Amino acid sequence: MGGRQVTDWQGKRVTVAGLGVSGIPAAKGLHGLGAAVTVVNDGDDERARAQAADLEALGITVRLGDGATLPEGTELVVTAPGWKPDKPLFDAARAAGLEIWGDVELAWRLRGPGAAPWLAVTGTNGKTTTVQMLASILEAAGLRTAAVGNIGVSLLDVVLGDEPYDVLAVELSSYQLHWAPSLRAHSAAVLNLAPDHLDWHGSMEAYAADKGRVYEGNRVACVYNLADKATEDLVREADVEEGCRAVGFTLGTPGPSQLGVVDGILVDRAFVENRQKNAQELAEISDVNPPAPHNIANALAAAALARAYGVPAAAVRDGLRAFTPDAHRIAHVADVDGVAYIDDSKATNTHAAQASLAAYESIVWIAGGLAKGATFDELVAGAAGRLRGAVLIGADRALIREALARHAPEVPVVDLDRTDTGAMLAAVREARTLARAGDTVLLAPACASMDMFVNYNKRGDAFAEAVRGLSPADG
């Protein structure tokens, strides 16, 4: 990726806040550049001790169970993105006049001359899918790229590695953006905005403002969602480079400087000559896997960023065709007696579940888990006409049951009063009794999984295992 930014890290005393997927690469990377690194971590469990031992073997100091105190002599703090801004460690750092960087900020500052530009994606839902679609499109264009960032691949590892890239597809969370004030992407997209992580940010306004940081300093395009005015508002508020354009995407017919859908075709009216009159066909809806409405929106956003980088239309089509979504994202598990069983365990909040429910006409809905402070009235009211029935599981299922009673009183509801992992098998069997040929049994919990499962993956696995255990006409 070219040489490092010229910075003398030798002996610079850096405190890294937090172990984990960002803290460990930050500590190792800074140590490799000659910094004197101390890692502080709130936890002191078996896993943390094992991680600490690995770092200490390299000569890195680690303090476990003490994430509140700023080590003496600290000159810079680099934090894991999930650490809340009001932690005492940061108060002490600010009082000392120190800068606080996240791992993304550190990666951005360590880029060398001629480094690969970043195409950045954020939003409440759809980030990972969109970034993976974007990387697939870029690869189809013959570009050296990687899907990195909040997707689980450390930006630091990429920036400090030897692999040369032409362009990076970067997923960024609101946490990461909060701690990355210097980031300036080639082009960026905010897919959507819905209440999430408000306990961390303090308010919806602060959450939106952190998301909007992704547009700051964009050079070519700020991509926004025509169906979500808040994303366009963030574009209007951003300070971008001269010549940077606002580019919208829509599931309807696009206007000039927009991408959209016409007669089943994804169409570009933004990156064409004479966009007042002309349009470029990019792909068919059938090229998008799966072709649910919110996933088509993801594909349009990915296409917009790729086109902003100069990718030809054929590569958009080929990249979308080659893309395979991750597990537990509106994944078709099986058809049993004419009923489709769909695993969207990744729908861990109401906004994601709303998009999932909108993709099917007649649904037996399996929902519930940890609500994280969410309310369900808007979600249920919008989906009421599509619901054949509902099966509720998890600690906060009563909140969904009450919303169903208010907004869909005619929909039959099975309330499973259990939170053990075996509840999923019972839920699938109950859903089967409610479903008719042509229906969809949809796991779209609208809640987090940790009351019953380690994560949403395990929840989806339990659903898929239960479905595969069904035999035709045994219900």
Summarize the annotated binding site for ATP as residue ranges.
123-129
Burial class (CB in 10 A: 0-12, 13-18, 19+), 251: middle
Binding residue positions = 123-129
Q: Which tokens in the block code for residue 151?
A: 């997707």
DSSP structural state of residue 31: H
DSSP state of 70: P
Distance CA 235, CA 255 (A): 18
Buried b (16+ CB within 10 A) or exposed e, 402-437: ebbeebbeebebbebeebeeebbebbbbbbbebbee
The CA distances from residue 462 to 310, 334, 338, 356, 425, in Å, are: 43, 14, 21, 19, 7
Rounded Cα distance between 361 and 249, Å, is 24
What's the token pair of residue 245?
Answer: 């354009």
**DSSP string across 137-199:** HHHHTT----EEETTSS-HHHHHHSS---S-EEEE--HHHHHT-TT---SEEEE----S-SHH
Spatial contact of 25 and 157, defined as CB atoms under 8 Å apart: yes
